[in-house]
Structure 1
Amino acid sequence: MQIVIIGSGNVAYHLAKAFNQKKIPIAQIFGRNKGDLEKINQELSIPYSTDQLEDADLYIICVSDQSVDLVSTLITKKDCLVAHTSGSLPKEVLVGAYRKASFYPLQTFSKQKELDYEKIPFFVETEDNQDKKTLLDLASKVSSNVMESTHEKRKYIHLTAVFACNFVNHLFTKAKEISDGQEIPFNYFLPLIDETVKKIHEIEPKVAQTGPAVRNDERVLQLHQQLLEDESLKIYNTMNRSIKTMYEL
């Protein structure tokens, strides 16, 4: 099966690397950023192009959600399978007479960070059973966590991921701003962060909750409010209201 990956960003890089590690041949990586494509080629020895799209049986589109529909029009071949990697878009966003699918890896991707691809969940949605088998088999060569999913369910998977990853990372960023402002090394907080994440592997997140809001400790809450202002104060109050509501305090 001839596979072409379209894109040169974080998802394209890691998907190419995951396939490369499992000896799954990639005919080409196609994109507009020549510098990024050259770096991928240098590391993984995969042919690339910015202007000539190779013929393939499977095209995997790894670009931003805003670009998926436009990029999909570059594929004019009819007898092929095209899958995007978006967590929120329906497969029908793909524009073409080819067969359409979604091939969604649930992970936060950064080129600088090594990943254990075996642990990354993949969610597959297709138009027919043969394509479903093709993509499930392909994902299973990379990961041990593979399942079929509808677009409706995938929307909730992506929403959950935003809460569990993107929002949490933003809170890490705000926390670092506070520690930096007081010249407290942020690495001092890493054991706390590690233990917080470790706990939810063993305990339900709701049961693992600690802190002044769950204890209804108004003295500490008011003290913290005095130390904050503007956006950080709004975030602090919003989070504490949510915790209090959850635990009916």
Structure 2
Amino acid sequence: MKTVIIGSGNVAYHLAKAFKQSQLGVSQLFARNAKELSKISVELGIPYSTDFLEDADLYLIAVSDSAVADVSSLIKKENALVAHTSGSLPIEVLNGRYRKASFYPLQTFSKTKELDYSKIPFFIEAENQIDEKYLSELASIISENVETSDYEKRKYIHLTAVFACNFTNHLFAKAKEIADAQGLPFRYFIPLIDETVEKIHYLEPKAAQTGPAVRGDERILKLHEALITDEEQLKIYKLMNESIKKMYHL
């Protein structure tokens, strides 16, 4: 099938790269950001356009959630298959008379970070079984981990991902703020972060928890609170420790 990928951000870039590496054809990249689109096109050798949307059999929309409906209305080919890549939108948001679907890769994407696409879970939803089977087979060429998922399941997958990824990374950023303020190289903490993540491959996250809150060590908790001068950091510190205590009934 002739495929067009719409978007020029992190997801669009990696989706196009995954297709390229898997020897799946992409006939066009389409987006409004000519500068970013040109970079992707040069790197991957895929033609692009900012004003002409080519006719295709499959359109994959990899834009921000707020733009999906408007972008999807640009597709006029009624017998096309159109899939968004969002974890938090139903397929009904797609605004056209074509066949609708979702092609959701569960991963955090940055253009400068290489990824092993074969390990990324893909969650597929379509209006009919034929399209669902086709998209599942397509994703299976890229990844070893492909499942079907309706919107009710997918939105909770996305919510869980925000806790597991976005919130965790924000805490890394806050930790670096504290380290930077004290002249501590953040590289000191990389082995600790790596071990924390590695452990949950073998242990339930609850069983892997360590630290003063889970031990009920009020002396250290109060000491840390006294050291924190930033109001937002202190609020996060207290909130996280109270949540840990509740989980372990302390």
Shared fold per TM-score greater than 0.5: yes
- Please state if 1:131 is matched with 2:131: yes
1:82 corresponds in structure 2 to 82
CA distance in 2, matches of 1:234, 1:218: 16
- What runs of 5+ residues in structure 1 fail to find an aligned partner? none
Equivalent-residue separation in structure 1 for 2:232 and 2:38 (angstroms): 41
In structure 1, how many angstroms separate the alpha carbons of the residues matched to 2:38 and 2:144?
30
Cα offset for 1:66?
0.4
Residue 235 (str. 1) matches residue 224 (str. 2): no
Alignment of 1:72-151 (within 5 A): 72-151=72-151
Separation in 2, partners of 1:128, 1:39: 36
C-alpha separation between the residues in 1 aligned to 2:74 and 2:172?
39
TM (normalized to structure 1)?
A: 0.99
Deviation at 1:41, TM superposition (A): 1.2
- The alignment's C-alpha RMSD in Å is 0.5
Cα distance in 1 for residues equivalent to 2:201 and 2:93: 36
Shift of the alpha carbon at 1:136?
Answer: 0.1
Instruction: Determine helix, strand or coil for the equivalent of 1:124.
Output: strand
Alignment deviations for residues 77-121 of structure 1 (CA, whole Å, 9 cap, x no partner): 100100000010000000000010000000000000000000000
1:199 maps to 199
Task: Give 1:227 shift.
Answer: 1.1
Q: State the one-letter code of the partner of 1:163.
A: F
The TM-score normalised by the length of structure 2 is 0.99
* Structure 2 residues not aligned, in runs of 5+: none
Q: CA deviation at 1:142?
A: 0.1
2:170 — aligned with what? 170
Partner residue of 2:51?
51
Structure 1 residue 7 corresponds to structure 2 residue 34:
no
1:15 shift after superposition: 0.3
Q: Secondary structure at the match of 1:60?
A: strand
Instruction: Write the deviation string for residues 144-165 of structure 1: whole angstroms up to 9, x where unpaired.
Output: 0000001000011000000000
Partner AA of 2:246 in structure 1: T
Counting aligned pairs with the same residue, the percent is 69
Deviations 1:166-188 (A, max 9, x none): 00000000000000000000001
In structure 1, distance between residues paired with 2:226 and 2:102: 48
Q: Structure 1: which amino acid aligns with 2:183? A: E
Amino acid at match of 1:161: A
Q: 1:42, 1:72 → 2: CA distance?
A: 25
Q: Look up the match of 2:214.
A: 214
